[in-house]
Chain A
């Protein structure tokens, strides 16, 4: 059984490495995601962000503009998720410990 586990792990690792060999190189400007037009001839969103982020918000950090301006509703959802996690710990952990002691 132990050898079967090891065999499954090695097989999965070989499969992942074989799949990762087809990934495009990091930072290559000829990649598909850096084109102005996609394969179906529609405009690509990331290209617009790189070209127009500084003119839209006067902010040199593109990541801040994308997280705070273009995708701000997504960031709002993340903040609500963290807030819900905090409230859940308050509800779960606060009462039981005081009652048991």
Chain B
């Protein structure tokens, strides 16, 4: 940030830790049916991995990971995934967000509910990750946080 110099220990530690935090975030999202966790927690872990590499290495390296202009469309896509899941049920004749009548052929309603919960968890995780990175990028904009 303001008075920062290149420290190889910090850069190496961030590079070593980031992939594992990211894999753990994906695990928390996709294993939320069986263990504690879910969209919010997993998305926040993914955002923590991205923010760690942004704080440690600066703008030049973090441009390779998620660019600044890509966060707002990702947040919108996350909200739209959630809303479209509910709206697809409304088109086929059910209530809003009642996953028992999702238009996927060949599944009984119980497994359709399982699938619907998984889809909206992915949407929540994507939106939360993009929005936390977006808040960080807007806070440090204009100053070189490297």
A and B touch in the complex (CB under 8 A): yes
Bound complex: CA A69 to CA B110 (Å)? 11
Q: Name the residue of chain B whose CB is nearest to the CB of A91.
A: B138
**Contacting pair A57 B110 (CB below 8 A):** yes
The answer, yes or no, to whether B111 is at the interface (CB within 8 Å) is: yes
Query: Can you list 15 A-B pairs with a CB-CB distance of less than 8 A?
Result: A58-B114, A68-B116, A72-B86, A72-B120, A75-B120, A75-B124, A79-B82, A82-B128, A83-B75, A85-B135, A86-B131, A89-B139, A93-B138, A93-B139, A98-B142
Question: Which of B32, B36, B127, B134 has a CB less than 8 Å from the CB of A79?
Answer: B127
CB distance from B45 to the nearest CB of A (A): 15
**Which of A8-16, A30-38, A40-48, A59-67 makes up part of the contact surface?**
A59-67
Contacts of B113 in A (CB 8 A): 56-58, 69
CB neighbors of A among B49-93 (8 A): 72, 75, 78-79, 82-83, 86
**A79 touching B124 by the CB < 8 A rule?**
yes
Residue ID in chain A nearest B33 by CB atoms = A59
Q: Which residues of B contact A98 (CB under 8 A)?
A: 141-142
Q: How large is the interface on A (under 10, 10 to 19, 20 to 34, 35 or more residues)?
A: 20 to 34
Instruction: Report whether over half of chain B's contact residues are helix, strand or loop; otherwise say mixed.
Output: helix
Which B residues are within 8 Å of any A CB, using their own CB?
32-36, 38, 72, 75, 78-79, 82-83, 86, 96-97, 99, 110-111, 113-114, 116-117, 120-121, 123-124, 127-128, 130-131, 134-135, 138-139, 141-142
- A interface, over-half SS: helix
Q: Are B97 and A72 in contact (CB under 8 A)?
A: yes
Q: By the criterion CB–CB under 8 Å, are B124 and A69 in contact?
A: no
Q: Which of A65, A68, A72 has the most CB of B within 10 A?
A: A68
The answer for the CA separation of A97 and B36 in the assembled complex, in Å, is 41
- Would you call B110 and A56 a contact (CB within 8 A)? yes
Q: Once the chains bind, are B135 and A61 in contact (CB under 8 Å)?
A: no
Q: Please judge, given known A-B contacts A58-B114, A79-B127, whether A86 and B141 are in contact too, CB under 8 Å.
A: no
Contact of B82 among A63, A64, A76 (CB under 8 A): A76
For B79, give its contact among A58, A59, A72, A83 (CB under 8 Å): A83
